[in-house]
Amino acid sequence: MFVNQIAVFLENSKGRLKECASVISNAGVDVVSMSIADTKDFGILRAITRDNAKAMKALKEAGFIVSSNDLIGALVEDRPGGLTEVLSTLDTAGIGIEYMYSFANIDAQNALILLKVDNEQLAIKVLKESGAKLVENKII
């Protein structure tokens, strides 16, 4: 039910994202999904790759600050209201979402959403109870 991601600190300067992407590609790693959180002074790149450990090692060697952590991965039906159902489940249980991003086209019927929440255990419990399909790294 967990999907591992890497997070990279990006100083807000021209070309920094490209440098980061080059390091990952030069390591021969394919990025499958990503999102960037940006503030005035810095950004955080969050990415899921085919080989997080390898990408992390390469980034560290290149001087980037990197961390990795697990996100909840849930399948959402690709139709109007699919996302709302999952979010309602979490909302009803009083769970806050720190951030989320999505991964489209995992198969023909579903999209994958990746969630960072403030109460992981409870989120997994209520999502499972609601019948949501949780996914793991290997599916990706």
**Minimum CB–partner distance for residue 108 and other proteins (Å):** 30
Nearest to 32 by CA among 11, 6, 63, 67: 6
The yes or no reply on residue 41 touching other proteins (CB under 8 A) is yes
CB-based contact 138:3 (threshold 8 Å): no
Distances (CA, A) of 17 to 5, 27, 31, 65, 102: 17, 16, 13, 13, 20
Among residue numbers 52 through 71, which ones bind other proteins (CB under 8 A)? 63-67, 69
One symbol per residue from 78 to 107: x for binding other proteins (CB under 8 A), - otherwise; what is it? --------------------xx--------
Nearer to other proteins, 110 or 113 (CB): 113
- The Cα 46–Cα 63 span in angstroms is 17
Chain positions contacting other proteins, by CB under 8 A: 5, 7, 9-11, 37, 39, 41-42, 44, 46, 63-67, 69, 98-99, 116
